[in-house]
Amino acid sequence: MRGAKVVLVERGDLAQGTSSASTKLIHGGLRYLEHYEFALVREALSERERLWAVAPHIIWPLRFVLPYRPGLRPRWLLRMGLFLYDHLGGRKHLPPTRTLNLRKDAAGRPLQPQFRFAFEYSDCWVDDARLVVLNARDAADHGAEIHTRSELIQLARLDDLWRATLSDGRILLARAAINAAGPRVLEALGRAHVATSQSMRLVRGSHIVVRRLYDHDRAYFFQLPDKRIFFAIPYEDDFTLVGTTDADHHGSLDDVHATPEEIAYLCEGANGYFRTKLTPADVVWSYAGVRPLIDDGSGKPEAATRGYTLRVDGGARKPRC
Ligand SMILES: Cc1cc2nc3c(=O)[nH]c(=O)nc-3n(C[C@H](O)[C@H](O)[C@H](O)COP(=O)(O)OP(=O)(O)OC[C@H]3O[C@@H](n4cnc5c(N)ncnc54)[C@H](O)[C@@H]3O)c2cc1C
């Protein structure tokens, strides 16, 4: 749309990577407030309503019920976090936080009786794979070439151009190359023989899908005794999606799956809240994705920043686009 001639190469299919293995939320990231990531949350919150306005046919508002659990985060802290969440990002159309009496509200019915009080706040959810495909479709409508099953094998400097060799034998010449290879971002840098001191932290997140655990249309935001949080979200018509986990991923990127320990952990987490008890035998499907995070030296994987950096290699010369 800025007049550049653009080619996108994807080694497999569109959204085959992390982008189809997410929790499928268009959210500000409520829990990142706890890590003082105010700028990140503000940016994500303002993008939330912008994206919703652009693509209301694949992005839908969703209310989240956050039960207060004695012994974990105090009520005043949850309320303060949600006050910030409501006001930080220029919320215009999504409804604000309200409090719920779980003894009276339908959201309390599927929960164990000790949960008496909750907050309910807004975010949105999306079909993540469709979001990717529609982005590519839109780019193509504006003149971009989209090549799937086409892997970048090598990238080399040729005077002031980049020379890209693709797996189908084609050679492309470009003034600028953008490396958006997700968890393979450093591997792609290696193919360009670009030295970097940057290291990535690959953090696997798993989800389980079980038969519908409740009959209303809201989602739950649950806290765990280990201070992590996870979601239970209505999924398709007949299912509930439960996730996610955070575990450093050291294995192959070609085989990313939910481990039996992760599945058991999510069942146990859900069993701390719902009346219906889950066992791994109730899991009808599971999936996992690897987050390509910047290694900021955080101890726990869930504390690693979800922010991003753009590294520009190529000196002061600005790309002409
Ligand atoms: C468990 C989990 C839950 C998440 N939940 C949310 C959420 O609710 N909301 C949210 O906004 N974000 C969420 N995220 C984060 C979000 O999913 C990621 O930030 C996003 O998907 C990253 O997209 P990407 O395009 O960088 O990577 P990817 O989707 O992995 O895309 C990179 C692509 O590059 C291709 N590629 C790699 N190397 C080459 C090569 N040499 N040649 C050609 N192609 C190549 C790959 O095949 C891949 O398709 C979640 C992530 C995880 C793991």
Nearest CA to ligand 1 atom 4: 22
Closest CA to 207 of 292, 284, 99, 320: 284
Q: 7-15+130-191: what CATH class? A: alpha beta
Nearest CA to ligand 1 atom 9: 25
Q: What is the pTM of this model?
A: 0.93
Would you say residue 172 has pLDDT above 70?
yes
The torsion angles phi and psi of 57, rounded to 5 degrees, stand at: -85, -10
- DSSP letter for 319, please: P
Q: Where are the beta strands (DSSP E) in the chain?
A: 7-9, 25-26, 59-67, 98-101, 117-126, 145-147, 152-158, 161-166, 171-174, 200-211, 219-223, 229-235, 239-243, 247-248, 283-294
Quote the ligand 1 centre to 75 CA distance (angstroms).
Answer: 34
Residue type at 263 in one-letter notation: I
Residue type at 65 in one-letter notation: V
Averaged pLDDT score across all residues of the chain: 94
* Burial degree of 311 (CB within 10 A; 0-12, 13-18, 19+): exposed
Contact indicator for 23, 30 with CB cutoff of 8 Å: no
Contact indicator for 26, 91 with CB cutoff of 8 Å: no
Give 217-220 contacts, CB < 8 A, sequence gap 24+. Answer: 218/62, 218/63, 218/64, 218/65, 218/107, 218/120, 219/62, 219/63, 219/64, 219/65, 219/125, 220/64, 220/65, 220/66, 220/67, 220/107, 220/273
Question: Domain boundaries in the chain?
Answer: 7-15+130-191, 68-124+200-303
Nearest CA to ligand 1 atom 33: 181
Instruction: Please report which confidence band the pLDDT of residue 299 belongs to, taking 50, 70 and 90 as the band edges.
Output: confident
Contact indicator for 304, 298 with CB cutoff of 8 Å: yes
- Ligand 1 is surrounded, with C-beta below 6 A, by 9-12, 16-19, 21-25, 151-152, 180-184, 188, 205, 244, 289-292
The torsion angles phi and psi of 13, rounded to 5 degrees, stand at: -110, 160
- Pick from 18, 162, 309 the residue to mutate for probing ligand 1's pocket: most ligand atoms within 8 Å of its CB: 18
Quote the ligand 1 centre to 309 CA distance (angstroms).
Answer: 15
| Number of C-beta neighbours around residue 143 at 10 A | 11
Specify the CATH number of the domain 68-124+200-303.
3.30.9.10
Please report, for residues 55, 84, 229, 259, 273, the alpha-carbon distance to residue 97 in angstroms, rounded to integers and kept in the order given.
24, 10, 18, 35, 21
Token pair for 118: 């909750």
Instruction: Please report which confidence band the pLDDT of residue 321 belongs to, taking 50, 70 and 90 as the band edges.
Output: very low
Nearest CA to ligand 1 atom 21: 19
- Please tell me the predicted confidence (pLDDT) of residue 43: 95
Average pLDDT over residues 66-86: 96
Instruction: Please report which confidence band the pLDDT of residue 301 belongs to, taking 50, 70 and 90 as the band edges.
Output: confident
Quote the ligand 1 centre to 294 CA distance (angstroms).
Answer: 14
Nearest CA to ligand 1 atom 48: 17
